[in-house]
Structure 1
Amino acid sequence: MSVFSITQATQELYDYPIIGIDLGTTYSSVCIQSNDKVVIIPNEYGFKSTPTVVAYNTTFLVGEEAKEQALINPMNTFYDLKRLIGKDYFDPNVQKLKKNLPFTLINENNTICIKVLQYKNEGEKIFNIDYIQAKVLTKLKNMASDYLGFPIQHAVITVPIGFNDIQKQATIDIAEIAGLKAVRIISEPNAAAIAYGRDYVTRETNIFVFDFGGGTLDITAMKATKYKFEDLQHSSEVNLGGEDFDFNVVEYLIKYIKDTAKIDLQHNKKAIQILKIEAQKAKEVLSMQNIAHIKIPNLIEGYDFYYSLTKEQFEEVNQVLFERVVSAIKSTFVVNNLQIKDIDEVILVGGSSRIPKVQEIVETIFVNSKIIKDRLQDELVCIGAAIVANSLTKQSKKHYQFVEIMKTQISYGIETFYGQMSIIIPRLSKYPLSLSRFYTTIADYQSKIEIKVFQGENKFTEWNEEIGKFELDGIQKAKKGIPEIQITFALNQNGMLTAQAIDLNTKSSSQETINIKNLVGISYEEISNLRKENEEEEKADEERILSISRLKSYHKDFLNELKQSKFNSALDESQQQEIQEVLNTSSKWLEENRYNPQTSIEEFQNELQNLRNSLNKILRRQSDL
């Protein structure tokens, strides 16, 4: 449950701008609010959302560039990483997803890592998934910095409502690697509700946010006014999204090909990647039409694949997923005496909400509610994050005061005598919270103690996970059992644990902020090292990427000039043809060399200069006439 409202500021406010980020499974976006206007910051292609895709091909590529080379580089193109955040390698959902991915997931000390083939001149290299995912946040951060004209270092980041505290902490760690401080983590449906409520809610309204994206289904029923939102009930399917529909279609097509052509593509990663891209396109077509034609010449050498997928077939293949959607909606109304008839408005958010069968399910269940379809924009979550981000700055006129209540997924405590676990915060405790327990010494005249902090459920610390330790010095010099020591654990809204110890007699105290993790987490030292590596790699890649971008931009700008009637009319037909041939030759060279590790930065710079010289030579002929 959570309650959040716009009030006078009673929380920490910041002097600098804060961006809002929607880190999605398939697409991500970044926004900034200035005064009352929210700007969705476009990427270099002018798009409002950027593919959550990272690839390695001589350098790390992120977004559109990573996605467009996926077919020629499937084993070094990484996506769906949000579904792996904060998870154990042996999690059944991780193992299931692993079978559908063309790249290689490996286990490193129970941490999920990715194998990059042929990294620079080092051969294979293993990367933590947090490091790879941080590349996406790094790109979004840089987009915002370029747009605003100054460095951005702080963000509000959205996560699925079903993310546990470990997954939220992993998101904070990923931001840190990217050079961002996550000042607030908020749930995606809450962010969408804020964005919707600010502009469209004028009275107390029960709204139902149905946020169906690429990787998760988040559902929240809330009571809303313009500036206050009360979470009445929510549910989440963290392993149900648009990607699952795509994977089901791919499996269906693989079986069809095996049955009809006797070709087994089960282990052909490149072919599977091609089928997945076409399955996604077909899904989008079927949101508008009754049939989608899949045409893949030379799917594998000597085999052309053509298939017409009907809407009925798509729905049959994904019947189990649609049933899960129904169950997720109905589970929201099991408790709290909340009834379907109490919902005034249903807001559809996320790309998967466009699937006709999904809309049919929603309309069938909420027969008396207003269904909001015209604001299916994928940016609604990001806009909400930007509104919250702005409200945390001193420049804001309104401030969202959050009191979000979440539950811990594990117990936290300290080690006492004989290695026993003394739990201070039990599992499933609602937080933010602060809890204390009282302890004493086990030896006479003990002046200091070492306090070891653990997480886990076993009564002995040997079988739990140590997550930090600190010392309390200046304890009252007395016989054992006399000193009174109060130890307090506090969990903030982001799930960060602070441990404090104080001697109630001497008032001596010690405090430590603990980076919560478990076997799938990474240490502060690892985060610092990964952040440094990310910064160094980003700097090294920047000049190469810039030289390629300059050449691409010159092609684009000159082509646009060529289309202008004033410019075009000044050239005769032979000149126009010559210019087009020069541009085509240069574009072909760029496509052949942009991912070639042997092509140096100087060669890209020389190609740009040669292109300019060739075009200027043609244009000078006109001026000489």
Structure 2
Amino acid sequence: MKKEMKQMGKVVGIDLGTTFSAIAHVNEHGQEEIIPNAESDRITPSVIMFEDDLVTVGKIAKQNASAVPEQIVEFVKREIGKSKEEFSREFEGKTYSAEELSALILQKLKQDAEAHLDAEVTDAVITVPAYFKDAEREATRNAGKIAGLNVLHVMNEPTAAALAYGVDVHGSDQNVFVFDLGGGTFDVTVMKVSGSKLEMIATNGDHRLGGKDWDDQIIVHVAQMFEEEHGENPLQDLHAYQDIQLNAINAKESLSQRQKARIVCNYNGKSSRIELTREKFHELTNDLVQRCSALCGVVLSEAQMTWEDIDLVLLVGGSTRMPMIQEMITEISGKEINPQEVNPDDVVALGAAIQGTLRQIEEQANDTSDTNALAEIPEAVKDRFIGPKGELAIKVVDGATHHLGVVLVKSDAVTRYVHLMIPKMTPVPCEVQDTFYTVTDNQPGVQVEVIQGLEQDQLIDEIPQFEEIYKLGECELGLPSGMPANTPFDVTYKYNLDQTLEVTAKGPGGKTANVKIDRSTLDEAEVEAAADHMENLEIE
């Protein structure tokens, strides 16, 4: 018999990671804490195993990866935002998109949290890498919906990490450098803690750089050593690959504590014992470290700062435990790094939980239909997160992580170029309006092409894959007949806290056109169908 829930409407923060995920909440004492899963672990492997109608997520799935590799899905975060044509997996006659697979991980976290808290989890803040574009963000939101969550906010991971650190140090001014190297993605962000405000100053990232790439270098090295000894490549067999992958991960973790690790590779009745030293590991992965180092310089340049301007370096993500990463940051920054400043596995989920609580307080304070809404919040929570004048104790100000612009046409009516509406790092939410002019007499209408990630005045014809990569959508405005060239019309970009965009075009006589830019790979009906399908799955 199912136990009756004692509480309703719990808000959580979720770090939906490439290799591991975590979920947290703010307890009745006003303290953020990780919610352990059903296996009593603080983090859950982002690994899925399909067995008939049973879906297993987490440690057991990871442990069985080498036994049944064809039934396993890993690293799905690297595919989020792609259509089913670009990425999908099929099990038991059902084709799963990246959103649906991510939703299975979220559902596992949700149901384990509900069992632990003895409360229904309804609302969530889910984190994403700061450089994620609209398509990846909307796909993450859809994954939450499919898992039965009301997603309050899709939050930048480095902002969440800085919030978890800064919530109790506000009042002092600090420039915080967040170095976030996870299992599959990499972010570098400069945040400013100023008074009660936490503001993003600059960010950049690489969604194809993470701990997995260090693992892959070990995997390739082991396979080469095996082939040199036995004349066969073990990576041609999926089972052997999974075995080597697990051994590579163990070796990588061991090399963070020891100077050498031993890896046994078995394939086709043959075996090799391979010794990997920390020095050799550094040699194999030096180019990856240099990519990290280069991105640090890019972000400091974008922030118009030097290392002397940075007060604190936060190491986030399990991959920052590698000594080579800590040594690299110490070398380029000239600063003493404290890897224990925050727990790299927990801090993003904890920050997301804090943001969820702040959003909940803000929404209830603004709820004019219920004057006692805040009374439902525990006193310890209000004491920590509400200031003396009723304001939030700390306010998070994120920035647009990519340029947003419009395509304009020069007077020759042929040459198309980029005009920025919302430059990168503009504080969000924001609303920007600009006036433009028609090109020809009696122009029947204007097509507002909405673009992301391009620079001011770039020529469209010189941009490869413009439609596929950079164009977000369009807004078409009809014009009255007989309008002369240079007829003015206004375009407004409204960018909300979740970095979703609404575009409005307004022409002569007050005629308007409006479109919400939606880069979802699943439409509303498909999201509902996926949610219905999930209800019929047994997930453990």
TM-score by length of structure 2 reads 0.78
Partner of 1:513: 516
Q: State yes or no: 1:292 paired with 2:269.
A: no
C-alpha displacement at 1:257, in angstroms? Answer: 0.2
> In 1, are the aligned partners of 2:10 and 2:120 still within 8 Å (CA)?
no
Tell me the matched-pair count: 489
| Residue identity matched to 2:351 | G
Partner of 2:420: 426
Partner of 2:456: none
Alignment match of 2:219 (pick from 250, 260, 267): 250
Q: State yes or no: 1:75 paired with 2:70.
A: yes
Distance in 2, matches of 1:333 and 1:450, equals 40
Distance in 2, matches of 1:312 and 1:350, equals 23
Alignment match of 1:25 (pick from 3, 18, 25): 18
Q: State yes or no: 1:318 paired with 2:285.
A: yes
C-alpha displacement at 1:392, in angstroms? Answer: 0.7
Distance in 2, matches of 1:513 and 1:337, equals 33
CA offset digits 1:596-621 (Å, max 9, x no partner) = xxxxxxxxxxxxxxxxxxxxxxxxxx
C-alpha displacement at 1:361, in angstroms? Answer: 1.9
Matches within 5 A, 1:221-240: 221-225=190-194, 227-240=196-209
Indicate how the Cα distance of structure 1 residues 423 and 148 shifts in structure 2: closer, same or farther if over 3 A, else same.
farther
> In 1, are the aligned partners of 2:19 and 2:74 still within 8 Å (CA)?
yes
C-alpha displacement at 1:235, in angstroms? Answer: 3.8
Greater mean alpha carbon deviation, residues 127-136 or residues 42-51: 127-136
CA offset digits 1:472-517 (Å, max 9, x no partner) = 89x9x88656998644332223232223355664x565644331x2
Partner of 1:273: 242
Unaligned 5+ residue runs, structure 1? 1-14, 88-106, 550-625
> In 1, are the aligned partners of 2:14 and 2:22 still within 8 Å (CA)?
yes
Distance in 2, matches of 1:220 and 1:468, equals 28
Distance in 2, matches of 1:531 and 1:140, equals 19
CA offset digits 1:5-26 (Å, max 9, x no partner) = xxxxxxxxxx954321111111
Distance in 1, matches of 2:408 and 2:143, equals 27
C-alpha displacement at 1:281, in angstroms? Answer: 0.6
Higher helix proportion (structure 1 or 2): 1
Distance in 2, matches of 1:21 and 1:222, equals 21
Indicate how the Cα distance of structure 1 residues 427 and 272 shifts in structure 2: closer, same or farther if over 3 A, else same.
farther
Q: Kindly name which structure, 1 or 2, has the bigger radius of gyration based on alpha carbons.
A: 1
Distance in 1, matches of 2:56 and 2:277, equals 35
TM-score by length of structure 1 reads 0.68
Give the aligned CA root-mean-square deviation in angstroms.
Answer: 3.9
Partner of 2:50: 56
> In 1, are the aligned partners of 2:492 and 2:504 still within 8 Å (CA)?
yes
Partner of 2:5: none
Distance in 1, matches of 2:234 and 2:506, equals 64
Q: State yes or no: 1:488 paired with 2:471.
A: no
> In 1, are the aligned partners of 2:421 and 2:432 still within 8 Å (CA)?
no
Partner of 2:314: 347
- Indicate the percent of aligned positions where both proteins have the same amino acid: 27
> In 1, are the aligned partners of 2:159 and 2:398 still within 8 Å (CA)?
no
Indicate how the Cα distance of structure 1 residues 226 and 133 shifts in structure 2: closer, same or farther if over 3 A, else same.
same
Distance in 2, matches of 1:337 and 1:439, equals 35
SS at structure 1 position matched to 2:313? strand
Unaligned 5+ residue runs, structure 2? 1-7, 365-373, 375-381, 387-391, 453-458
C-alpha displacement at 1:227, in angstroms? Answer: 3.1
Q: State yes or no: 1:330 paired with 2:326.
A: no
C-alpha displacement at 1:214, in angstroms? Answer: 0.9
SS at structure 2 position matched to 1:535? helix
CA offset digits 1:340-386 (Å, max 9, x no partner) = 23333322222111112222222333444453435334111111111
| Residue identity matched to 1:208 | F
SS at structure 2 position matched to 1:113? coil
SS at structure 2 position matched to 1:135? helix
| Residue identity matched to 1:247 | D
Distance in 2, matches of 1:480 and 1:205, equals 55
C-alpha displacement at 1:389, in angstroms? Answer: 1.1
Distance in 1, matches of 2:202 and 2:536, equals 48
Distance in 1, matches of 2:474 and 2:73, equals 36
Partner of 2:354: 387
> In 2, are the aligned partners of 1:114 and 1:129 still within 8 Å (CA)?
yes
Alignment match of 1:404 (pick from 398, 401, 412): 398
C-alpha displacement at 1:314, in angstroms? Answer: 1.6
Distance in 2, matches of 1:342 and 1:211, equals 19
Partner of 1:531: 527
